Structure 1
Amino acid sequence: MATIGSNTTFDLSPKTLVGVGVGLVAVGGASYLLYRHLTRDVMPQKWRRVGTVERIHFFPVKSCAPLEISKPGVEFECDVLSMSFEGIRDRTLMVVNDKNEMITARTYPHMTQIQSKKVSPSKLLFSAQDLPDLELDFESLEGPGKDVRTSIWGVPVNVMPCGDRINRWFSQAILKKENGLKLVHYPYPKPVRRTVPDLKDMPFLRQEDSGTFNDATSFMLMNLSSVADLNTRLKNPVDAAQFRGNFDLKMDVDEPYAEDNWQWIRIGEDAVFRTVAPCTRCILPNINVRTGERDSDGEPLKTLKSYRLFNKKSPAMGIHLGLRLPGKVKANDVVYVEDK
Structure 2
Amino acid sequence: MMHLSALYRYPLKSCKAEPLQQASFDALGLTGDRRWMLVDESNGRFFTQRALPQMSQLSVLWNGRGGVTLSAPGVEGLDVPLPEDLEANLRGVTVWRDTLRVPDAGDEAARWVSEFIGKPTRMVHIPQERARWLPSGYGTVEDKVGFADGFPLLLIGQASLDDLSAKIGRSQEMLRFRPNLVVEGAEAFAEDGWKRIRIGDVEFRLLKGCSRCILTTIDPATGERSEDREPLSTLKTYREKEGEVWFGQNMVNDGPGVVEVGMEVEVLE
Return the TM-score normalized by structure 1: 0.74
CA contact (8 A) 1:223 1:318 kept: yes
Spell out the pairing of 1:102-117 with structure 2 (5 A cutoff).
Answer: 102-117=46-61
Shift in Å, 1:125: 2.1
Rate the CA distance shift 1:239–1:207 in 2: closer, same or farther, 3 A: farther
Question: Does structure 1 residue 328 correspond to structure 2 residue 258?
Answer: yes
Q: Whose radius of gyration is greater, 1 or 2? A: 1
Q: In structure 2, which of residues 184, 187, 190 is the aligned counterpart of residue 258 of structure 1?
A: 190
CA distance, structure 1, for counterparts of residue 143 and residue 7 of structure 2: 19
Q: Identify the residue that residue 129 of structure 1 maps to in structure 2.
A: 73
Shift in Å, 1:213: 0.5
Spell out the pairing of 1:9-48 with structure 2 (5 A cutoff).
Answer: none
Question: Does structure 1 residue 279 correspond to structure 2 residue 226?
Answer: no
Structure 2 unaligned residues grouped into runs of 5+: none
Q: In structure 1, which of residues 221, 226, 234 is the aligned counterpart of residue 168 of structure 2?
A: 234
Partner SS for 2:132: coil
Question: Does structure 1 residue 224 correspond to structure 2 residue 164?
Answer: no
CA contact (8 A) 1:156 1:193 kept: no
Letter in 2 for 1:111: M
Shift in Å, 1:275: 0.9
Q: Identify the residue that residue 60 of structure 1 maps to in structure 2.
A: 11
CA contact (8 A) 1:144 1:162 kept: no
CA contact (8 A) 2:93 2:101 kept: yes
CA contact (8 A) 1:211 1:217 kept: yes
Rate the CA distance shift 1:114–1:334 in 2: closer, same or farther, 3 A: same
Letter in 2 for 1:325: G
Question: Larger % of helix: which?
Answer: 1
Cα deviation digits, residues 23-74 of structure 1 (max 9, x gap): xxxxxxxxxxxxxxxxxxxxxxxxxxx51111100111000112266xxxx4
Rate the CA distance shift 1:207–1:242 in 2: closer, same or farther, 3 A: farther
CA contact (8 A) 2:11 2:62 kept: no
Letter in 2 for 1:284: L
Partner SS for 1:148: strand
CA contact (8 A) 1:150 1:158 kept: yes
Partner SS for 2:2: strand
Shift in Å, 1:119: 5.5
Structure 1 unaligned residues grouped into runs of 5+: 1-49
CA contact (8 A) 1:192 1:208 kept: no
Question: Larger % of strand: which?
Answer: 2
Question: Does structure 1 residue 51 correspond to structure 2 residue 2?
Answer: yes
Letter in 2 for 1:334: E
Return the TM-score normalized by structure 2: 0.92
